[in-house]
Structure 1
């Protein structure tokens, strides 16, 4: 058996076949791929890796792997679209529903050490188990993910991008143009962060606009639509068992790991009405917590699942806020 390589010294990865979802692979069972060893730098760990390129089907654009195999296995995502392999959903949605905490470091030096250790664990494991334990996942969250997931692959995602010259009325290639000549939907060609940052956001499950929209839709469907009054930063947990403030904070940290303890201004437990008031330091943090809690179908405190609702503005405070907004 060849000795294991230290990626801090070798600094590259080689693979024989990519980790892809069915959508990116395409409907053709006889896909021809080109393979280029050390063809590009992984957009997550910055190591050179084996790049695969292929055409997923007639009328589709050529696709290629964006991240290395190791990074894809660590997160359980496709190397090209970076969506979850089991549900086909954004990482941010999956992690919010299952209460998964992002433990991966973001600095270059720590990333190399972290990935090296996980890569060694996967090589030693007979079944290739990654750092995620699906058996410990929240049953309600998994059920929600199954309902949100598509039953069939969405091959329209493989279509060519919209021609920017066509939008300006300057494309002269006509039918020979490899891009789509059609008017985009609102926001489809909006400019945001560069591709490098966008890939990292999707991978780490942070600031993903698609995931944010999906979580807001889930929250609204469960009666957790954010109130118009922006001064409201409080969530209520209803139907709690006998518990303490520490129990509520522990359950909240487990269910919504994205919210840090210092982002919670106060927690007030009212034993007589079996409820708790959770006041956050910022409205955006409160909305993020509400979306994650709706995805997890509430919160479990001391073995009992509680309902989550938004708080209400204090009397006399709402009119003042409205007057300030009007001014």
Structure 2
């Protein structure tokens, strides 16, 4: 009895607990169903979009139409050119046929006229025809020759003069001045001979002076300015002794022109009828050397003068001179070297 009463007292509490558990389980089931439904919707939305397999790809209609029109235009242009060229060919063919007909008619007419000629006239006609053919061939040969000459490269001619070895001049020496493009003969020997005549006459001036300077000339356009001086020289006096002697000697001399326009231009002097040639003809080329005193203004023309003298058989010695320095010499100077 006591056990049954205790079971009846616990029944309401157990029912309430079971109800709570049942409610919780129901709520969980509902939540699970809601979450599952949302997950399914999300998967459907994120899935790849499958296109229609029957749908055709799009084609750029505008570009295709433009390409087709360009090809069609090229075809029309090519066809037009072909027709134009065909027209030109037909026109030239007809023109050629007309010329051939005309030539045939002319040849037939010439043959008829030739048959009417006598033998002498036929011979003259043949000669004239052959002459025309020969002239045509000659013109062709001239044109060919001219073409060959024009196609040949220009040749550089290197001129050289023999006897390049220099040798000291001991024979007769003829002096020439080349300055400002003009050639002048220098009266060297005449002035030296005049110096020998006048020097003894002025020795008395050295009595009270160690040196004296005088001028003589002009001779053939040149003056000589010379200087005499006292010179002491040791000479043996015998028995091992030496004595000092005083003598008078030429220190130096200078030749100056009276004008800068003496002589002839080089181009004129090289002609056979020039004064230069006339004076050279008085000297023997085998025994005479031409010494050229050349100034900077005519350095480039010295070779021309040297070549002209070489053609006449003369050896040449060059004496380069600085501007402002006159032609001159002294007993202590050097001899010219000819080539």
TM bin (shorter chain): under 0.3
* Higher Rg: 2
**TM-score scaled by length of structure 2:** 0.18
Q: TM-score, normalised by structure 1?
A: 0.19
Higher fraction of strand: 2
